[in-house]
Amino acid sequence: MPIINMDDKILLSHGGGGKKTQDLIRHIFLEKFSNEELNELDDGAVIGDMIITTDSFVVNPLFFPGGDIGKLSISGTVNDIVAMGGTPLFLSAGFIIEEGFPLEDLKKIVDSMSNEAKAVPVKIVTGDTKVVEKGKGDGIYINTTGFGKKTLELGLERIKPGNKIIITGTVGDHGASILLSRNQFEIESGLKSDCAPLYGLLKSILSEDIKFMRDPTRGGLAAVLNEIVRKDWGIEIFEDKIPIREDVKGICEMLGIDPITMANEGKMVIFVEGDRVEETLKTLHMHPLGRDASIIGKVTDQIKGRVVERTVAGTTRIIDMPSGESLPRIC
Amino acid sequence: MKYIDEFRDAEILRDWGRKISLIKVSKSINLMEVCGTHTVSIHRFGLHKLLPENVKHISGPGCPVCVTPNRYIDEAIELSKMEDITIVTFGDMVRVPGSRSSLEKEKAEGADIKVVYSPLDSLKIAEETEKKVIFLAVGFETTAPTIAATVAEARKRNIRNFFILPGNKTMPNAMRSLLKDRDIKIDGFLLPGHVTTITGFREYEFIPRDFGVACAVSGFEPADIMLAFNSLINQIKTESPKVENVYQRSVKRDGNPYAKVYIERVFEPINSEWRGLGEIEHSGLGLKDEFKSFDIRNAVKIDIPEPFEHPGCRCGDVLKGKINPSDCPLFGDPCTPDNPIGPCMVSSEGSCSAYYKYG
């Protein structure tokens, strides 16, 4: 049975970051675009000592506790550059705006883009604006493309059994806060999106000890670990080591969503040389964005090609690539 | 007390595992749960792996989406194709394949389909449109009270463009039908904690009395479930079947009287078709005469071709506990959560999906 049937149409789940997205990339885009740089299927491409990466932002609602689409559009792209071992230098910004969109909201979004970019720091050096008819967009969509200088050699091929895995903080904050900000549940909470550029946090740990990094956005921790795992080794994680806020845990329980499949916008999964992991963790803990960093698991050759979790009950379960979208349009 | 971590303590769970394995019962034992949340919790925490080898856990017809027959889904799809209709549904229904399509595919074709968490939200939607707004009323006694309240509220507020497509089911007679099936051997039931929170467990007392089968009302945290397993195996060992309530912090013998009043005011028992189990007497909820005008089947003629099931799909046998999901020839290839052939693979509560995801 073909994975992509040409009579099919694009479904929301094709944009969920799970298996359907992977199928779309492999069977539609890669099929025609295939080249040495793209085939790596990393968060961005490496060209000489430059890194280029792009991301589009379609979040709904545009403003949410802890951030807005503007902040997201800077942190998302900056984090992709950082995950590839780069120092972020320049960004482009493309806006697709719906007719009738309040200028005041646009100004708020641009303000927060500007603030975030200065804080990294990274310069927005080129851009584009398009306006579409009312009803043909959803307020505003933003695309940012990032350029960075490669400062550290990272790569999947550097991951070896014995490496340890760190998450830089609590998981699921962004996904859960977007869910709540849609106000469908009438639950009040102090929860905020974790949306933040991570260059400041991560530049302090960049060294040969770091093997690989990826930011667990759509599909959360479960999706990135499944993207990373290779057929000759496996990943074992420990449920009781994964930091999750109590309110996120409660919301996820109530809605039957696994927090490790919820999106994050200010967290990094880091693969570290096994005997250097404590030093890395200590350094992360010194930064406000790394306070809750935790060693959540390890790379092992006892299992192959699979992500396995040791549950709090002491049993094991397979963590599979999440399928479909747990909620639409989160980044 | 945070109500999550305390019920997931590894030491407590291992202790219960040890206690259960000390109850020596020589025969093989089949324990069935009939609630999708139990299915997920057992697989999510690997609790079945803590049971002795002669004790087998079976997932029965407890996932509301899974037991909904193709005919119902085909009707919903047919309605979604009509011009002046908005379909409002719980999220799980969207991806379930009917005979020929799914709501997800119809949505991509332009059908107006909205996902809500509470049926009451459909009234807000109805008040903001001229279109007919149809809520897909599926689920067990757990969703029935809020759906009943929504219908009652619609009448009170005189919202005339709100309808439901009745499809709610009730559990006791479905369990009776499983117990009467000679091909299925069940030694104990984990009774559904959410359903019995509403209905109480009095209406399950016929199971030990008439069929000699053990019952334990169970919550959903790992410790709740281990406690219920322990109760069942003890009852089986001592040959003293009864309904034991080990979920006392939520369930009472007579349930929640307020919720029951709503159900009884709006709904009445009807015969209902279950996927895999066929038509079962008084196992569904239809609208009472005074609320019949909210039944979309009375307002719109829904013409659908004869439904059909994928010939290889064995969801029916999975729902009856006759086979394990992995015994189905389609399991894993081509039927996966991303490419579901049968409903048990679609719903996050479906047993095929739980087997596939958690092993």
Q: Mark yes or no for CB contact A313/B357 under 8 Å.
A: no
Cα–Cα distance, B236 to B216 (Å, whole number)? 11
Number of domains chain A is built from: 2
Mutation site, A23, A323, A325, A326, interface B, largest B CB count within 10 A: A323
CATH of the domain at A191: 3.90.650.10
pLDDT(B136) > 80: yes
Interface contacts (A, B; CB < 8 Å): 84
For residue A246, the chain B residue with the least C-alpha distance is: B2
Helix (H) / strand (E) element for B351: namely helix B351-358
Question: Could you read off the pLDDT of B190-229 as tens digits, one per residue?
Answer: 999 999 999 999 999 999 999 999 999 999 999 999 999 9
Q: In what order do the strands lie in the sheet with B214-218?
A: B55-59, B29-33, B188-192, B214-218, B243-245
Minimum distance, in Å, between the CA of residue A264 and any CA atom of chain B: 22
Minimum distance, in Å, between the CA of residue B105 and any CA atom of chain A: 7
Cα–Cα distance, B320 to B329 (Å, whole number)? 17
For residue A247, the chain B residue with the least C-alpha distance is: B2
For residues A189 and A307, membership in a common domain is answered with: yes
Listed in order, strand segments (DSSP E) in chain A are 45-47, 50-57, 63-64, 67-68, 86-98, 123-132, 140-150, 164-167, 210-214, 234-238, 269-272, 294-300, 307-310, 316-319
The pLDDT score that the predictor gives to residue A6 is 62
Residue A227 corresponds to which tokens in the numbers above?
């993207």
Cα–Cα distance, A143 to A148 (Å, whole number)? 17
Q: In what order do the strands lie in the sheet with A316-319?
A: A210-214, A269-272, A164-167, A294-300, A234-238, A307-310, A316-319
* Contact by Cβ (8 Å): B323, B344: no
3-state percent helix, strand, coil for chain B, nearest multiple of 5: 45, 20, 40
Helix (H) / strand (E) element for A281: namely helix A277-285
CATH of the domain at B129: 3.40.50.11740
Residue finishing a domain among A150, A169, A194: A150
Question: Could you read off the pLDDT of A135-148 as tens digits, one per residue?
Answer: 999 999 999 999 99
Mutation site, B227, B338, B341, interface A, largest A CB count within 10 A: B338
Question: Could you read off the pLDDT of A9-49 as tens digits, one per residue?
Answer: 888 878 877 778 888 999 999 999 999 999 988 889 999 99
The answer to whether the peptide bond before residue B334 is cis (omega within 30 degrees of 0) is yes
Q: Mark yes or no for CB contact B104/A12 under 8 Å.
A: yes
For residues A171 and A311, membership in a common domain is answered with: yes
Number of domains chain B is built from: 1
List of residues 6+ apart from A63 with CB closer than 8 A = A69, A105, A108
Q: Mark yes or no for CB contact B105/A9 under 8 Å.
A: yes
DSSP string, B195-250: HHHHH-SGGGTHHHHHH--EEEEE-SSHHHHHHHHHHHHHHHHTT---EEE--TTT
Minimum distance, in Å, between the CA of residue B270 and any CA atom of chain A: 30
Among B22-36, B286-300, B333-347, the range scoring the smallest mean pLDDT is B333-347
Q: Would you say residue B57 lies in a domain?
A: yes
pLDDT(B15) > 50: yes
Facing residue for A323 by CB, picked from B105, B338, B359:
B338
Mean pLDDT of A90-116: 97
For residues A146 and A160, membership in a common domain is answered with: no
Mean pLDDT of B272-294: 95
List of residues 6+ apart from B245 with CB closer than 8 A = B201, B216, B217, B251, B253
pLDDT(B7) > 80: no
Q: Mark yes or no for CB contact A315/B50 under 8 Å.
A: yes
For residue A327, the chain B residue with the least C-alpha distance is: B91
Q: Would you say residue A11 lies in a domain?
A: no
**Average pLDDT, whole number, for chain B?**
92
pTM: 0.82
Share of chain B above pLDDT 90, in %: 66
Q: Would you say residue A107 lies in a domain?
A: yes
Q: Would you say residue B236 lies in a domain?
A: no
